[in-house]
Amino acid sequence: MKEFLSVAELCNLLNLSKSTVYKMSCKGILPIYKPKGSKLIYFKYSDIINYLESGRIDSVDEIIEQTRMSLETFK
């Protein structure tokens, strides 16, 4: 995978519209890179992966296991 992605490449990767990607970047949700003197913006692949991983939601099995472990500590 390339280190930096264009808007079009990010749209394809995440299955998002250009409008959504631009809105997310304008709101500061997605960090951007803009070369000096350029109107184009780019996204660092590792930043996108970190963003996606930050929204991870535990599975039901993981929640049950965490609850079981917490209850065992109170015994």
Residue-range domain boundaries for the chain? 4-73
Quote the CA–CA distance of 19 and 13 in Å, as a whole number.
Answer: 15
The predicted-structure confidence for 28-42, as pLDDT tens digits, reads as follows 999 999 999 999 999
Q: Which pTM was predicted?
A: 0.76
Q: What is the pLDDT of residue 73?
A: 84
Tokens linked to 15 = 């299955």
Q: What is the pLDDT of residue 74?
A: 77
The predicted-structure confidence for 34-72, as pLDDT tens digits, reads as follows 999 999 999 999 999 999 999 989 999 999 999 999 898
Question: Which class is domain 4-73?
Answer: mainly alpha
